[in-house]
Amino acid sequence: MTFDQRTILITGGARGIGKAVAEKLFQLGANLILADLEGSDGESTARSLDPSGNRVTFIACDVTQQDQVNHMVG
C-alpha cells in the first residue's frame, strides 16, 4: 500500500505513537500535517522526517480548543 499524493493529518504527531505513525506514513509516500500541543517537539519531528519541508507541515494545536482546530483545518 502506498499513500502517494495523499495528505494525512496526524494529531499527537510530535512524539510517541503519533510520531511512529508519521514516520511509517511518510515512508509510504504520504504528505503529512502533524498537529500537537508541543511546538518544539512537533517542529523537530517535522524537520527530521522532511528537512526540505515540502511534504511535512507542523501546526501547534490543542484539539480541545475549537478556535485552534478551525485555524488548523482552515
Q: What pLDDT score was predicted for residue 2?
A: 75
- The model's pLDDT over 21-43, given as tens digits with 9 standing for 90+, comes to 999 999 999 999 999 997 899 99
Three-state helix/strand/coil letters over the chain:
CCCCCCEEEEECCCCHHHHHHHHHHHHCCCEEEEEECCHHHHHHHHHHHCCCCCCEEEEECCCCCHHHHHHHHC
Q: What pLDDT score was predicted for residue 12?
A: 95
Would the pLDDT of 54 be above 80? yes
pLDDT band at 50 (very low <50, low <70, confident <90, very high): very high
Q: What pLDDT score was predicted for residue 39?
A: 84
